[in-house]
Amino acid sequence: MLSLNLNEILEKSKSDPEFAWNMYLIYISQVSNEQSQYINSDEIDKVGKKIYAKRKLVQYKFALDEDVDGLIDFLKTNAITEKTKYLLLDIFDGESLSNYLLKNLKNNIDSLYLLKIIRIPDKDQFSKSLMALLEQKVLSKKFFETVLPSLPQQIKDELLNMIIEEITNFVKNKNITNEEKISLANVYKDILKYYPSYKNSFIERRLKLNKNILVSIWEFLIKFSFSTLSNIRILITILLLVALLISFSLRIIRYRIFLLLGLKKLAALSYKKIVEKDPLNEEKRLKLAQLYESAGMFDEALNEYNFLKRIKFE
């Protein structure tokens, strides 16, 4: 019968990995040929690798204690070499870390730093948890500004492609609600803000994120005026300018002109003034919400949809 067991050795490794290593060597020497058939050699090898890794990372308390939260804090602030990565995996075990990530992702965005040393686990479950996290503005901002840039390029690409795929699958659903559409649009806009190469025309068509015309009325008129020295064209330009100024005094005309020119944000803001004159008109409120949505003003659109709900309940 062996005087030592693996559990005792592992427990000792949490306080003194060097001494635990000596215990491990004694344990190995005590495993006789007669007993070897009853010994799990894979388990012995696994314990040996764990203690060896702790000896190499003895300066890190989280490694000795096998503290996953401490590991995440370490990954958050440190670049990881391949050697360190494999030492950490010998201590913590990749499968255990994958299960931890799946369990905690919704409530702890920092758990994503584990992807510095493990692969993306169960993609179906993981992608759903990730999308739920990204629908929260503060967490989405942290994800794109802080977490994602720190991850390996391959993992970063996988995550971005996963998010685009999830959004694509969502928008294919004809029963998607306005609230869901706005939430997805916000996530998509965050992607384009930091990674414009992931632009997706199908998503933009389904979410109605068409780009506004960038040339305003004034720029058009100035360009037209100076394109020729002809007095007649200058006169026409002046007359057009006067006509537009008069028209702009009428909100409904101003709204229609902006809409015609594709200046959707300005059109929405102009129509808002019209709605303010008749704030309980459900038809106008709905139209304003749709204008906001078309202009990419998703927070304002969501406020209008919520206001419509309150009107109906009252």
User: 3-state SS string over 135-170?
Assistant: CCHHHHHHHHHHHHHHCCHHHHHHHHHHHHHHHHHH
Give the burial class of 175: count Cβ atoms within 10 A of its Cβ; 0-12 exposed, 13-18 middle, 19 or more buried.
exposed
pLDDT in tens, 71-91: 999 999 999 999 999 999 999
pLDDT in tens, 147-179: 999 999 999 999 999 999 999 998 888 778 888
Distance CA 114, CA 223 (A): 55
**Given pLDDT bands bounded at 50, 70 and 90, which one contains residue 67?**
very high
Instruction: Kindly report, as residue ranges, where domains of CATH 1.25.40 are found in the chain.
Output: 217-313
pLDDT in tens, 11-30: 999 999 999 999 999 888 87
- Position 303 scores a pLDDT of 85
- Position 78 scores a pLDDT of 93
Bigger pLDDT: 267 vs 187: 187
Angle between helices 282-294 and 298-313 (to 10 degrees): 160
Bigger pLDDT: 166 vs 276: 166
Q: Which position has the token pair 């706005």? A: 182
Report the mean per-residue pLDDT for the chain. 83
Is the pLDDT score of 34 beyond 90?
Answer: no
Average pLDDT of span 211-219:
43
CA distances from 56 to 18, 38, 45, 126, 208 (A): 10, 31, 17, 32, 55
Tokens of 238: 């002046």
Distance CA 190, CA 144 (A): 7
**Given pLDDT bands bounded at 50, 70 and 90, which one contains residue 314?**
low
**195-202 long-range CB contacts below 8 Å, 24 or more apart?**
195/160, 198/160, 198/164, 200/164, 200/167, 200/168, 202/168, 202/171
Is the pLDDT score of 243 beyond 60?
Answer: yes
Distance CA 288, CA 137 (A): 23
Tokens of 216: 């305003």
- Position 291 scores a pLDDT of 86
- Position 279 scores a pLDDT of 80
Tokens of 282: 């459900």
Is the pLDDT score of 245 beyond 80?
Answer: no
Contact 188, 207 (CB under 8 A): yes
Percentage of the residues of the chain whose pLDDT score is greater than 90:
43
Buried b (16+ CB within 10 A) or exposed e, 80-106: eeeebeebbbbbbeeeebbebbeebbe
Q: How many helices (H) and strands (E) does the chain have?
A: 20, 0
Is the pLDDT score of 217 beyond 50?
Answer: no
- Position 274 scores a pLDDT of 85
Highest mean pLDDT, choosing among 57-71, 184-198, 245-259: 57-71
Distance CA 98, CA 129 (A): 13
Average pLDDT of span 26-41:
69
User: CATH classification of 217-313 is 3.40.50, yes or no?
Assistant: no
pTM, to two decimals: 0.65
